[in-house]
């Protein structure tokens, strides 16, 4: 019989798989941001490729300098939307499983996946991050994390 951790693990794995597929397995690290605060689900991700930290729509910037100007990755809007939609569905399923198993739903999850080592680490936060703040939006939190990771690259 499956326990909560089995479902949770499967959904996390699927989120990583979506992000890996999006980048055609050509990334060094994947950073996945999930947020749930009452009535709002947010899923987004970015990468480290060739030592550069890039958003999902900037993937070709990480490789184009090495390979003239030929795009390596399909970063079309449709592809971005599809990846975000699937990630969001997984986040909603995590919430559903939390309710089914009487577990607290994290308000924020930050996953770090090292592709070469096949290693996933998760950071979970349960207190509200932006709902109680009149200024902050989920995008602000995501961008802040992106810049934090980017700085570790210098």
Q: Which residues does residue 35 pair with via DSSP β-bridges, in sequence order?
A: 42, 108
Mean pLDDT of the chain: 92
Query: What DSSP state is assigned to residue 146?
Result: H
Name the architecture of domain 4-151: 2-Layer Sandwich (3.30)
Those residues whose C-beta lies under 8 Å from the C-beta of residue 145, and which sit 6 or more positions away, are 31, 33, 110
3-state SS class at 48: strand
Angle between helices 77-100 and 4-22 (to 10 degrees): 170
Query: Strand ranges (DSSP E) for the chain?
Result: 29-37, 40-49, 52-55, 108-114, 119-125
Q: Quick one: pLDDT at residue 107?
A: 96
Report field, pTM of the whole predicted structure over 0.85: yes
Q: Quick one: pLDDT at residue 71?
A: 75
Q: Quick one: pLDDT at residue 15?
A: 98
CA-based nearest residue to 63, from 33, 31, 23, 30: 23
pLDDT > 60? residue 29: yes
Q: Quick one: pLDDT at residue 154?
A: 55
Q: Quick one: pLDDT at residue 56?
A: 96
In which band, very low, low, confident or very high, does the pLDDT at 67 lie, cut at 50, 70 and 90? low
Those residues whose C-beta lies under 8 Å from the C-beta of residue 5, and which sit 6 or more positions away, are none
Tokens 């399909």, residue? 74
CA-to-CA separations, 15 to 18, 71, 75, 106, in angstroms, rounded: 5, 24, 18, 16
pLDDT tens per residue across span 71-102: 788 999 999 999 999 999 999 999 999 999 99
Q: Where are the domains of the chain?
A: 4-151
pLDDT > 90? residue 8: yes
Compute the half-sphere exposure of residue 77: CA atoms within 13 Å on the CB side of its CA.
0
Q: Quick one: pLDDT at residue 101?
A: 96
């Amino acid at each position: 019989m499956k326990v909560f951790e089995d479902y949770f693990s499967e959904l996390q794995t699927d989120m990583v798989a979506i992000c890996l597929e999006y980048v055609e397995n050509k990334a060094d690290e994947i950073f996945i941001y999930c947020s749930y605060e009452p009535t709002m689900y947010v899923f987004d991700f970015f990468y480290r490729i060739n030592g550069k930290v890039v958003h999902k729509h900037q993937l070709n910037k990480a490789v184009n300098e090495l390979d003239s100007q030929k795009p390596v990755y399909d970063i079309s809007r449709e592809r971005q939307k599809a990846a975000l939609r699937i990630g969001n569905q997984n986040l909603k399923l995590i919430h559903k499983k939390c309710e089914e198993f009487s577990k607290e739903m994290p308000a924020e999850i930050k996953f770090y996946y090292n592709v070469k080592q096949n290693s996933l680490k998760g950071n979970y936060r349960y207190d509200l991050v932006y709902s109680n703040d009149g200024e902050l939006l989920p995008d602000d939190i995501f961008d802040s994390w992106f810049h934090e990771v980017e700085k570790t690259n210098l």
